[in-house]
Each structure stands twice: as structure tokens, then as C-alpha cells.
Amino acid sequence: MTEPVITLRGVRAELGSRPVLRGIDLTVHRGEVVALLGANGSGKSTAVRSIIGQVPVLSGEIELFGTPRRRFRDWARVGYVPQRTTAAGGVPATVGEVVASGRLARTRFGLFRSADRAAVRRALEQVGMADRVKDPVDALSGGQHQRVLIARALAAAPELLIMDEPMAGVDLASQEVLAETLRSQVADGATVLLVLHELGPLEPLIDRAVVLRDGCVVHDGPPPKAVGQHALPGHDHVHPHAPAGAEPIRTGLLS
Ligand SMILES: Nc1ncnc2c1ncn2[C@@H]1O[C@H](COP(=O)(O)OP(=O)(O)OP(=O)(O)O)[C@@H](O)[C@H]1O
């Protein structure tokens, strides 16, 4: 096996004094594409947020690129795409500005040189949004907004991509663009940890699946087949932030 890029050992975390992660062990090696699966509320988002330091850890260890997370400083190596809750939420920024913000960690003192501008342009081209660079993100559809968030993560040319439900609420055309973007990242050697509710169009890319239930790992191995438990009735995905009575989000090809 190659070197570990993400290591979690016995990670426990609480939210509002409720145990949400109850001793998670997870290793992602260089070049691997790992899907983090599980029902609503099983702790998937909390697990990835603990990795990037947004959720305090009660006990256990987290390492990034072999360095304890507390001492890890090289955040330009990590691209994070958070779970998208609303289309744009009144962000008064253009597509170009949002994507350029993802490049800041690679600039010297925040000054954009031609290599930085080229990286921003390349990221926009990868997700098919180069012609929208001047548009306000408010004007975009959900799928286009997600493409912009992914371009923002790609702008720093990260070695590790962590994405929380990148396909949720994304139209089919954007899903295909995102799957293709991810494919080229993986071909270039990126390491990827994806929170997913179902494998969907990303299935061919996934090397390994880790399934959480009630804050514990209940499976770590080959991805479940497309007709597995996540595609069965009763496993529809209701977004926790959606209004009460909202329809489950159908992320696409399997449902
Ligand atoms: N800020 C918070 N305060 C208290 N409880 C929280 C908070 N955020 C999440 N939780 C709870 O923690 C549990 C795990 O949430 P988490 O978002 O990690 O699950 P998930 O597997 O990602 O689910 P989903 O697929 O619905 O996003 C849930 O029961 C959720 O209600």
C-alpha cells in the first residue's frame, strides 16, 4: 500500500452533547477514491468535517499526509467541497471571484500571478463554466453552483479532494460534468474522499466504500453493487436541512 493521506484512529466526536462519531477508524491511501456511505444522520458529514478541523474531536487521532492534524499547515494540498444547502444564498460574488478564492492558499501574499490566473481559468474550464466567469453566483442553477464550488476546490490543484455529497440536488448534465471532472483528477493521481448517499454515476471511480451507521464503521471494503441497500426503497435520502415534508433528494441514475 502507498502512504496514507488521511488516517483516523478511534475518532469520537459529539455535537450538542450527543455522540455522533463513536470510534471511527478510516485510512485513505494516496491515489485511492473512497466513498463514505450511510443513512441520514449516520455521521458522514461530521466525519469529514472532523478531518478538516471544523468539528472538535473528543478522543482519537487524525493525521493528514502523515502529520497530526493539529500540526498540519499545508492546506493548499487539500480541496474541500462542503455539503451544499442552498443554491447560492445571496453571495454577492462572481463565478470568477469564488473560484479565485480557492487559489489564495497557493499565492504569495495573496498576489495573483499569471500561473494563478491560469489555474483559475483551468479549473473553470474543467467544470465547463469558463463562459460564466463574470456572472454572479446567485444567477446559477444548483448544479452550476456545485460546479463552481468544485472549481474553487480544484483551483489550488489539491492532492486530496474531500467532497460532501457533490451530486446531491445536481441536474443530470452537471452530474456528468462532475463525474468527468473527478475522473480526470483521479487519472492525474488525486486522492479522493467522497460523502455519498448512493454511488450513482461515480460508481466506476470508487475503489473502496466505508459505510457508517450510528457513528460507527460497519463496512470497509468493496463498494456495494448498484442494486445494494442504498438503492432499495426505504433508503431515500432526506436532506436534514430541507423543510419538513420535503421530497427525498433523488441524486440520479439509481433512483
Ligand atoms: N450542529 C449540530 N448540533 C447537534 N447535532 C447535530 C449537529 N449537526 C449534526 N447533528 C446531528 O448529528 C448526526 C450526524 O449528522 P451528520 O450530518 O454527520 O450525518 P450524515 O451522515 O452526514 O447525514 P446526512 O446524509 O443527512 O447529511 C445527526 O443526527 C445530526 O442530526
Q: What is the pLDDT of residues 181-213, one digit of tens each?
A: 999 999 999 999 999 988 888 999 999 999 999
**Confidence band for 89, pLDDT divided at 50, 70 and 90:** low
Least confident among 20-24, 30-34, 88-92, 160-164:
88-92
Instruction: Give the Å distances, CA to CA, from 246 to 40, 124, 238.
Output: 14, 32, 7
Establish whether residue 17 lines the binding site of ligand 1, counting it when its CB lies within 6 angstroms of any ligand atom.
no
State mean pLDDT over 60-89: 87
Beta strands in 75-190 (DSSP E): 78-81, 160-164
Which atom of ligand 1 approaches the CA of 49 most closely? 18
Establish whether residue 46 lines the binding site of ligand 1, counting it when its CB lies within 6 angstroms of any ligand atom.
yes
Pocket test for ligand 1, best of 14, 21, 36, 45 (most atoms within 8 A of CB): 45
Rg (CA), the chain: 18
φ/ψ (deg, to 5) at 56: -70, 145
Establish whether residue 19 lines the binding site of ligand 1, counting it when its CB lies within 6 angstroms of any ligand atom.
no
Establish whether residue 215 lines the binding site of ligand 1, counting it when its CB lies within 6 angstroms of any ligand atom.
no
Distance 41 CA to ligand 1 centre (A): 5
Which atom of ligand 1 approaches the CA of 45 most closely? 22
8 A C-beta contact, residue 222 and residue 209: yes
Distance 46 CA to ligand 1 centre (A): 7
Pocket test for ligand 1, best of 12, 37, 46 (most atoms within 8 A of CB): 46
pLDDT digits (tens, 9 = 90+) for 144-185: 988 999 999 999 999 999 999 998 888 888 888 899 999 999
How many angstroms separate the CA atoms of 10 and 87, rounded? 35
Domains and CATH numbers, the chain: 4-87+159-231 (3.40.50.300)
DSSP category for residue 50: H
How many angstroms separate the CA atoms of 251 and 165, rounded? 9
Distance 42 CA to ligand 1 centre (A): 7
8 A C-beta contact, residue 24 and residue 47: yes
CB-based contacts of 45, cutoff 8 Å, min separation 6: 83, 164, 165, 195
User: Counting Cβ atoms within 10 Å, is residue 14 exposed (0-12), middle (13-18) or buried (19+)?
Assistant: middle
pLDDT digits (tens, 9 = 90+) for 217-249: 999 999 887 554 444 443 444 444 444 444 443
Say which residue, 235 or 5, is predicted with more confidence: 5
pTM confidence score: 0.85
CB-based contacts of 12, cutoff 8 Å, min separation 6: 19, 21, 22, 23, 24, 57, 58, 59, 60
8 A C-beta contact, residue 248 and residue 237: yes
What's the angle, vertex CA 222, arms to CA 191 and CA 51, rounded to 5? 40
Which atom of ligand 1 approaches the CA of 42 most closely? 21
Distance 228 CA to ligand 1 centre (A): 23
Establish whether residue 41 lines the binding site of ligand 1, counting it when its CB lies within 6 angstroms of any ligand atom.
yes
